[in-house]
Structure 1
Amino acid sequence: MTVLTLGLNHTTAAVDLRGRFAFAVDQLAPALKVLHTRLTGAPQLAAQPEVALLSTCNRTELYCALGGHWGGRASALQHTAVDWLANTGGVGHDELMRHTYVLEGGAAARHAFRVASGLDSMVLGEPQILGQMKQAVREADAAGTLGTTLHQLFQRSFAVAKEVRTSTEIGAHSISMAAAAVRLASQLFEDLGKTKILFVGAGEMIELTATHFAGRAPRSMAVANRTLERGEKLANHLGAQALRLADLPDRLHEFDIVVSCTASSLPIIGLGAVERALKARKRRPIFMVDLAVPRDIEPEVAQLDDVYLYTVDDLSALVQTASEKRLAAVTQAEAIIETGVQGFVHWLDQRSTVPLIQALNSQADAWRATEIARARKLIAKGEDIEAVLDTLSRGLTQKMLHGAMAELHSADTQQRPQVAASLARLFLRGDVSPLKKDPQS
């Protein structure tokens, strides 16, 4: 038994390609059910697979597990999963594989632990990814595709992430995406206190970014969201105005800064709307941040004069630091992760013997039931209790030793010393070494 991880992230694929494979939270469970059915129906696999799907603005990753001996089934699982993902994103299998990483066993666990700990994020140590992974686990559990192996992998990931955050300063030396957006805006506008800011969306990322901007006491803020009620809730929390998303094209010109992050599959701020806004603003500049994957703002907007548009990939350069403290924190975190990986790999190895242990216990129970049934019959016939117990114990020991003796007697001359040594280790468990004795003495 092992685990397999395949995915693409901000280091292997650009934002537009990642956008093709982005799943909203409410799409995760239905997508997992479809993939699970596809994997279950693959004749090469012949086992019940486990699958979970993690989708954020920086990555889309599939975590899979399959019991038994993998053999050639790992490649079959990978091929089936990649085909499904490629079809979902509307790209070819080979094209997707050029941007995809595939990890197995300990490497897959190490990756999961690094992701949960924020070491694989665009923003080193960012905490949002841990909540996103927990959401992914809940959705896989709801879809019925989360089995024992993946459950163990993710629970260990969360434990490792907690230890990393409490034992190191991994999150103390990073600049969040939200803070990076504020820093860029400050370079364009001399005084953010004189700006009007529009936030499009009402999710966690928008709330985080809005909180950072609110700290600069802007002139006014507004929240536009597809669901007005949710937008009003965030607006009230920020002391901002709530707008209907439908009103956005007519109100866009009012704002100096626009930050957008929604789950829309298509851009919601088009080139034409921004052109009209610029005209109404008499060419006063607009600072725009598109944190969505797929994009909320049409990429052509970046070509307009007086528009400063940044995506999540553009912001990544601003959140990288190389201080000695940061490097030391990473080294500490990697050591914690490596210990966690070794523990998970050991657990996986133990899991591979579970079927054998179950079979041994079942066989022992069957022998015990047979001997007890025989003993009860003898007692019912009035046989002496001591004699019945002696017969029962002899019957059990003979059954337990029968297979071992048969293996020893059937082994050829070359095999017999190895078989004998194994039996001595299993049954004698001590320093007794009967093989060293001369059998003729």
Structure 2
Amino acid sequence: MLLAAVGVNHQTAPLDLRERLAFSAEGLKEGLRALRDTLHTRTGGNAVETAILSTCNRTEIYCAAQADPREALVNWLANSRELREVDLMQHSYRLVHEGAVRHAFRVASGLDSMVLGEPQILGQMKDAVRTASDTGTLGGTLGQMFQRTFAVAKEVRSTTEIGAHSVSMAAASVKLAEAVFESLADCRVLLIGAGDMVELVAAHFASRRPRHMAIANRTLERGARLAQQVGAEAMRLADMPQRLAEFDIVVSSTASTLPIIGLGAAERMVRQRRHKPVVMVDLAVPRDIEPEVSQLPDVYLYSVDDLTELVRNNGEKRQAAVHQAESIIESRVQGFLQWMDDREQVPLIRQLQEQSRNWQQAEVERARRALARGDSPDAVMELLARNLSQKFLHNAFAAMHQTDPQHRDQVTRAVQRLFLTPHRGCGHNS
């Protein structure tokens, strides 16, 4: 099997392209099935394994197939998102085998993230693998690669300082707000959504003890549970537009495929606030807040890409740990590739074992018949050993005699390695 990874991330593609390539949680299983069926058809019915990782900073397809699937993956991804293939090629990476494994290990370890060492990506990758498994597209090779991936990520995080002093997206949101407002203690904060990212943001803002915090979510019950944890008010998302002007800081991270806050709602907010400044942080992909909102006076709107410089500056403090992490990853990549090579040999090993058993059985039966006739046991044993040796050596002798002179030396060396190398258990001193 050949492994491949095709995708885009915050380093290779602008936000508007990443938005178009993002998969919603609901659309991920459908996408996996469609991709599997497409690849199955293109490969003539050969087995194909797939998984899709889609986050605010990346959309990646991982695949295991008999032949290189990268061209087919790019074609499917472009068509499924109504993109020109040439545009996707321009902004994507297309990795095969060793490169794909190394990329997966680096992503899970936080080395390929906007926030160096951030831990959320590991959970997102586990979710992606779980979805692929539930959909029936994972398979043994890809499944083993991801299990190794998770083990490598755990090793990197437990033995290096890669995650130390990390400025997460949540912490960066707080820093942006503090750059506009002198004290968050006087601010009212609205968080939209109730997922993992909003939970992190809520914890960071709660530590600054703002005057008031509210969490708006489609499902009031889920929003209420998070609100209770951080001492915030819970509100329905449907009530948010009417109350938007109450808040000095708005942070949104939902899985909506359409904007939650449009330009019209933001304009009403600005008028009602009488030009008091408001910080809006959009951590969602696709975006929750229409980008045109940034043009309004007194609105400080930041997208995930706008946080890059802030988190990069902090990341420079951990570059020493990167070298250690990369060394661990490289060692584990080679280990996994060795496992794949060994696995590829299993069918041949089984065939050789079956052939050996057949020869043994035939010679043992012949020996039993000879003993039943009254032949000498010593003579029977010698004949059995001689016949087995001849069977094992016959093809080697034939190959040396029949190979053309140009390749005879190569065959001879192979025969020497196979039959003349001393090893334990064959009567040689060791």
TM over 0.5: yes
**SS of equivalent to 2:268:** helix
Q: Cα offset for 1:379?
A: 6.4
2:34 is aligned to 34
The answer to whether the 8 Å contact 1:174/1:321 transfers is no
Task: Identify which of 92, 101, 119 aligns with 1:100.
Answer: 92
2:52 is aligned to 53
Q: For 1:101-140, what per-residue CA distance to the aligned partner results, in whole angstroms no more than 9, with x for missing partners?
A: 1111222222111111111100011011111111112122
The answer to whether the 8 Å contact 2:278/2:299 transfers is yes
2:426 is aligned to none
Q: Distance in 2 between matches of 1:378 and 1:318?
A: 86
2:10 is aligned to 10
Indicate yes or no: 2:329 matched with 1:330.
no
Cα 1:28–1:184 change in 2 (3 A) is: same
**SS of equivalent to 2:63:** strand
1:212 is aligned to 204
Q: Cα offset for 1:54?
A: 0.9
Indicate yes or no: 2:244 matched with 1:252.
yes
Question: Match of 1:12, as an amino acid?
Answer: T
Question: In angstroms, what is the RMSD of aligned CA positions?
Answer: 2.3
Q: Which runs of 5+ in 2 are unaligned?
A: 424-430
Cα 1:39–1:373 change in 2 (3 A) is: farther
Q: Cα offset for 1:322?
A: 6.5
Question: Match of 1:178, as an amino acid?
Answer: A
**SS of equivalent to 2:306:** helix
Task: Identify which of 296, 317, 320 aligns with 2:312.
Answer: 320
Q: Distance in 2 between matches of 1:378 and 1:163?
A: 61
Q: Distance in 1 between matches of 2:345 and 2:169?
A: 46
Residues paired across the two proteins, number: 423
The answer to whether the 8 Å contact 1:2/1:348 transfers is no
Q: Distance in 1 between matches of 2:131 and 2:289?
A: 28
Q: Cα offset for 1:384?
A: 6.7
Q: Distance in 2 between matches of 1:375 and 1:33?
A: 57
Indicate yes or no: 2:302 matched with 1:310.
yes
Cα 1:384–1:214 change in 2 (3 A) is: same
**SS of equivalent to 2:91:** coil
The answer to whether the 8 Å contact 1:20/1:89 transfers is yes
Question: Match of 2:42, as an amino acid?
Answer: A
Select between 117-126 and 415-424 the one with higher mean Cα deviation: 415-424
The answer to whether the 8 Å contact 1:174/1:320 transfers is no
Cα 1:329–1:413 change in 2 (3 A) is: closer
Q: For 1:132-167, what per-residue CA distance to the aligned partner results, in whole angstroms no more than 9, with x for missing partners?
A: 111112122222222232223222222222222122
Q: Distance in 2 between matches of 1:221 and 1:363?
A: 73
Q: Which runs of 5+ in 1 are unaligned?
A: 68-72, 432-441
Question: Match of 1:358, as an amino acid?
Answer: R
Q: Distance in 2 between matches of 1:91 and 1:415?
A: 51
The answer to whether the 8 Å contact 1:268/1:296 transfers is yes
1:419 is aligned to 411
Question: Match of 1:108, as an amino acid?
Answer: A
Q: Distance in 2 between matches of 1:110 and 1:117?
A: 11
Q: For 1:330-369, what per-residue CA distance to the aligned partner results, in whole angstroms no more than 9, with x for missing partners?
A: 2222222222222223333333333322322232233334
TM, length-normalised to structure 2: 0.91
Select between 199-208 and 187-196 the one with higher mean Cα deviation: 187-196
The answer to whether the 8 Å contact 2:166/2:315 transfers is no
**SS of equivalent to 1:41:** helix
Cα 1:288–1:407 change in 2 (3 A) is: same
Q: Distance in 2 between matches of 1:46 and 1:257?
A: 54
How much identity, in percent, do the aligned residues show?
Answer: 57
1:132 is aligned to 124
Q: Distance in 1 between matches of 2:180 and 2:314?
A: 25
**SS of equivalent to 2:275:** coil
Question: Match of 2:178, as an amino acid?
Answer: S
Q: Cα offset for 1:203?
A: 0.4
2:338 is aligned to 346
Q: Distance in 2 between matches of 1:172 and 1:417?
A: 57
Q: Cα offset for 1:416?
A: 3.7
